[in-house]
Amino acid sequence: MANGLCWLDGEIMPVEQARIPVLDHGLLYGDGVFEGIRFYHGTAFRLEAHLRRLRASARAIGLDVPWTASFITAAIGELIDAAATADGYLRLIITRGVGRLGIDPSRCVNPALIIIADTLELVSPKIRKRGASLIIAATRRLPPDGLDPRIKSLNYLNHILARIEANHAQADEAILLNQHGHVAEGSADNVFVVRNSELLTPPASDGALAGITREVILELARDNGIPAREVTLAPYDLYTADECFLSGTGAELIPVRDIDGRQTAACPGIIYKKLAAAFRALVAERGR
């Protein structure tokens, strides 16, 4: 869409007109949760799964969500209907709300709900076609005893630092390792490798977000007879993979051309092509 829209306090407005108070604790301290959701053909993709994860993230940080799923669904529907295109990206945010200075969350009385509809392109069509160039970042994924990876919070600073490393290396994306040196995820996506015709991805216990698109890819693999499992991966497994690709709501599916200068054996590979075609077919089917 030419200009993004925002649902805020029950009103839909251009994003450049939307305002939040400077004392909102989501702004001050990253105290809040969010979901990124694609919509295709005027329908939010896997919306129920996203709303379940949003509510789980909020519960995990002790954030009350006073809005029902049906209310949020209706607000999203209004925003999509008002959008200039049938395909786009939603950012659904719940913050702790306005409070006094200081990190104490009890200072906030009313949480805030913000929904943004806009376009999102993590990589150019050229990169998507030829494959992305990756680095393994020095920045590590926060351990579960620091911030559980299943919580999709507004605190993304370590991922931003990893992305800065990728920018400095003139790479398209960065892979974060966990505290044990095992592969966790990309700065904004999950990672898959193919080895001996088997699809592999790190488990959430290794620091990977339990991505909605990640789960879709695993479902599509099962439906298409592709062996798939969650397994701990090391950088060696990325360097020596037959194929590698990224997945995520924003990323959708992106093939990987090289990692730390090591060329992948095939890009895009046979498994990637099959899964990418199945994914396109799925979202074309009423965007559900």
Nearest to 26 by CA among 49, 58, 3: 58
Mean pLDDT, residues 133-140 taken together: 97
The helix (run of H) or strand (run of E) holding residue 259 is: strand 252-259
The span from the CA of 90 to the CA of 161, in Å, is: 24
Q: What value does the mean pLDDT take over residues 36-47?
A: 96
Whole-model pTM: value is 0.92
Average pLDDT, the chain: 94
The better pLDDT of the pair 3, 221 is held by 221
* Structure confidence at residue 142 (pLDDT): 87
102-135 core/surface letters (b: 16 or more CB in 10 A; e: else): eeeeeebeebbbbbbbeebebbeeebbeebbbbb
In this structure, what token pair is assigned to residue 107? 């200072």
Q: Where are the domains of the chain?
A: 5-118, 125-284
Q: Note the pLDDT of residue 146.
A: 83
Tell which wins on pLDDT, 93 or 2: 93
Residue 12 confidence (pLDDT) above 90:
yes
| pLDDT (mean) for 223-235 | 97
For residue 163, pLDDT beyond 90: yes
User: 287, 39 in Cβ contact below 8 A?
Assistant: yes
Architecture of domain 5-118: 2-Layer Sandwich (3.30)
Q: Which region among 96-100, 197-201, 284-288 has the lowest average model confidence (pLDDT)?
A: 284-288
Return phi, psi of residue 229, to 5°.
-160, 160
The answer to whether domain 5-118 and domain 125-284 are alike in fold is no
Average pLDDT over residues 131-152: 91
Give me the mean pLDDT over the 206-233 stretch. Answer: 96
- Whether 191 and 185 have beta carbons less than 8 Å apart is answered as yes
In the prediction, which pLDDT does 286 show? 58
**Residues 34-52, mean pLDDT to the nearest whole number:** 96
Residue 282 has pLDDT above 60, yes or no: yes
What per-residue confidence (pLDDT) applies to 149? Answer: 85
Query: In terms of Cα–Cα distance, which of 180, 183, 135 is closest to 162?
Result: 135
| pLDDT above 70: percentage of residues in the chain | 98
Q: Could you identify the residue written with the tokens 């940080």? A: 61
Q: Looking at residue 44, what is its pLDDT?
A: 96
Mean pLDDT of 238-260: 96
Split at pLDDT 50, 70, 90, the class of 2 is low
Spatial CA neighbour of 130 closest among 279, 263, 241, 280: 263
pLDDT (mean) for 56-83: 96
Kindly report the number of other CB atoms within 10 A of residue 189's CB atom.
26
Residues with a catalytic annotation lie at 152
Does pLDDT of 1 surpass 60?
no
pLDDT mean over 218-229:
96
The matching CATH number, chosen from 3.20.10.10, 3.30.450.40, 3.40.50.10680, 1.10.8.60, for 125-284 is: 3.20.10.10
